Amino acid sequence: MSTTVTPQTRTAQPAATPGRVTEQTRARYPDAEGYAERDGQRLFYEVYGEGEETVFFLPTWSLVHSRVWKMQVPYFARHFRVLTMDGLGNGLSDRCGDPERYAAAEFAEDCLAVMDATETRRAVLVGVSRGAQWLLEMARRHPDRVAGAAFLGPMFPYTPSQWSLLLHPATQRGFFARMPAYRGWGRINANHWRQDFPQFVEWFQRRCLPEPHSTKAIEDAVGWGLETDPETLIATAQGAMHRDRATLRELAQGLSCPSLVIHGDRDRITPLRDGRALARLAGAGLEVVEGGGHVIGARKPVAVNLALRDLAEEVFERPRTPRDPTVHRGDGRPRALFVSSPIGLGHAQRDVAIARELRRRVPGLEVDWLAQNPVTRVLEQEGERIHPASAHLANESKHIESESAEHDLHCFHAFRRMDEILAANFMVFHDLVRDERYDLWVGDEAWELDYYLHENPREKRVPFAWLTDFVGWLPMSDGGEHEHYLTADYNADMIDHIDHHPEVRDLALFVGNPEDIVPHRLGPDLPLVRDWTERHFDFTGYVTGFDPEALGDRSRLRAELGYGDDERVCIVTVGGSGVGAHLLRRVIDAFPAARERVPDLRMIVVAGPRIDPAGLPDHDGLEVVAYVHNLYRHLAACDLAVVQGGLTTSMELTANKRPFLYFPLRHHFEQNLHVRHRLERYGAGRHMDFDHSTPEDVADAIAAEVGREVSYRDVETDGAERAADRLAQLL
């Protein structure tokens, strides 16, 4: 057997293409990868982390590959060494047309070859569905290599079921029969696969994922299934599987290691009674996940991860991590944990203002932050305490940047493809609040907290407050029927969460006013956004984080910042997410023409924390700077600003009554719909279309708007105080 360690990359589709499966940004990348070779077939593997204590996530049926474990790998890689492999017939492993090569015993030997290639002496083996058969064979053939065994939705046909019939030799003859139509389980048919493989894959994966609102998981699973081909799958279907009760009983009773069965009570592939039988025969623990389907690790990752960690700690004789949090009161002072979205800087600015006001209302309050760049830049400047656990967060901003094209960010689809990052980051939060006691959790558009607390309401143990400045995923005009369906499904999921578990959010604050809410529906047959929001949120008014009156005389402020009365100052900024480089370049290209029109123009381009100023074009007289703390002071002093279309910067300019041009990102539903609606209500800013604005057009607009007197609606200045008043009641 030989092993290679050549780096491999899965085939990726264009990230900006709506409705297609892509190789999305991962929450955790492997530390090593390569191939093991057995009997002339190459088997791709990935290794995460280091150490002896290894959790090996086994392959299952070749209709998917190792990415099926994407919700488990990042979490376990923080606590153990993790090994995954693509089973023969899918992913980056070889395809093989020999049915005998897909027998349970052969898969077990493939797993052993990967363990040998990666110098894995023993491991906790985790199998899902057919992977249970490979695991049982491994335990029979190589018990010294199996330190522990976990079975998820196991293919253990011990009781009469559809699978026990399909695995019968007599049924195998029907597998090749031609039928006038292929319906239900009749789709397990070689001719159907050859005629319409995508239809079969979608039918089967939907059956694997029956949980409501599983559109993203189904989309992933269908994409993985289409990475193999009908002939390969036909060969896998003929591979020998264990089906007779005597053999299954012998295998289960032969397990000599700690073991666990995790089964969803809505599994439509392998019946729960088979999981119970396996647990009983093996003397294994049994965890039944309420509402869980077949691919339970994908749709119920928190429950699965916690159960698997319990097993791994038992196997490796570690102190058991308690499911309930340990109480650490210290000196008895109240403590709050803020989790602030890293997509832009606005969340950090308003959250710091709210935390400051909250401390005034709750004497002795300690505030910790679970946050990542660029939010941490603001927090560090403000002297806030960033919890060390923040270092474990997967990078959300980097993912958003990877999804962007030239002034184009399909915000909704980018969010959908961030699912494994959000799951990984929730597990970081879960570890933190299990180990340390807080009296209040505050999530400002911390989507992972809100989603997974509603999915796992028993994990919510202290008051939880949710903040947002928009409600409702909205389709773009060119998104088509599919995007309309997906956004409505995500909104319906949110509605169901609140209806079924209203106790999770002790407080929901909308950063704004009812009039700021768009006049759209959340979807066909769903409520209007405003009606639903008014029923479920309190309104703080906008939170600027500063009082324009406190900035004092504008001439004095300009002098303090180094701006002369004899110059027209134009600030160009695109926020903190790093997706605005194309707009910066467009405005920079407009600078020479703009200066011809406005001879006393002074333009300062603020690249922000995630764009390298050295990578931007340069012109005589143009100033390019990096991150500027308290940028709102410069915006208050300027004669014009050119911005992207994010809410925070545009509302700072509105509050300071400064003229500005804003260019919403293409396909960014929040900037194009939610933010634009709010700005139009305030009568603020001049909307510009990036696609139809040449550098000459931008120069003309700068000349027309610079220094113009504006008459915007006033922005309230007590939003942070109002938010803090409501939060203080929870303490």
Query: DSSP of 389-455, one letter per residue?
Result: GGGG---HHHHHHHT-BTTB--HHHHHHTTHHHHHHHHHHHHHHHHHS--SEEEEES-HHHHHHHHH
Three state DSSP letters for 175-233? CCCCCCCCCHHHHCCHHHHHHCHHHHHHHHHHHHCCCCCCHHHHHHHHHHHCCCCHHHH
pLDDT of residue 610: 74
| pLDDT tens track for 180-233 | 999 999 999 999 999 999 999 999 999 999 999 999 999 999 999 999 999 999
Per-residue pLDDT, 171: 57
Residue 237: alpha-carbon gap to chain centroid: 34
3-state secondary structure of 145: helix
The CATH code belonging to domain 34-321 is: 3.40.50.1820
Quick one: residue 480, left, alpha or beta (phi over 0 = left, psi -120 to 50 = alpha)?
Answer: left
Give the Cα separation of 504 and 666 in Å (integer): 35
Same fold, 34-321 and 335-544+723-730: yes
Query: Is residue 34 predicted with pLDDT exceeding 70?
Result: yes
pLDDT one-digit tens code per residue, 630-671: 888 999 999 999 999 999 999 999 999 999 999 999 999 999
Are 275 and 286 spatial neighbours (Cβ–Cβ below 8 Å)?
yes
pTM for this model (two decimals): 0.94
Q: Checking DSSP bridges between strand 41-48 and strand 32-38, what pairing results, if any?
A: antiparallel
Alpha-carbon span 624 to 588, nearest angstrom? 10
pLDDT tens, 237-293? 988 888 899 999 999 999 999 999 999 999 999 999 999 999 999 999 999 999 999
Answer yes or no: are the C-beta atoms of 580 and 400 closer than 8 Å: no
pLDDT on residue 163? 66
pLDDT band of residue 7 (cuts 50, 70, 90) is: very low
For the chain, give every domain's residue range.
34-321, 335-544+723-730, 548-705
pLDDT in tens, 349-365: 899 999 999 999 999 99
Q: Is the pLDDT score of 308 beyond 90? A: yes
Return d(Cα 419, Cα 424) in angstroms, integer.
9
pLDDT on residue 15 = 33
Fold designation for 548-705: Rossmann fold (3.40.50)
Residue with tokens 């950063």, as numbered in its chain? 511
- Per CATH, the number for 335-544+723-730 is 3.40.50.2000
Measured CA to CA, the distance from residue 424 to residue 436 in angstroms comes to 19
**How confident is residue 81, by pLDDT bands cut at 50, 70 and 90?**
very high
pLDDT confidence bin for 116, thresholds 50/70/90: very high
- Name residue, tokens 């969010």: 415
Nearest to 86 by CA among 55, 116, 107: 107
Instruction: Report residue 615's pLDDT band, with 50, 70 and 90 as the boundaries.
Output: confident
pLDDT at res. 547: 84
CB 306 within 8 A of CB 314: no
Residue 214 has φ and ψ, to the nearest 5°, of: -105, 25
> Distance (Å, rounded) from C-alpha 129 to C-alpha 487?
31
Total length of the chain: 731
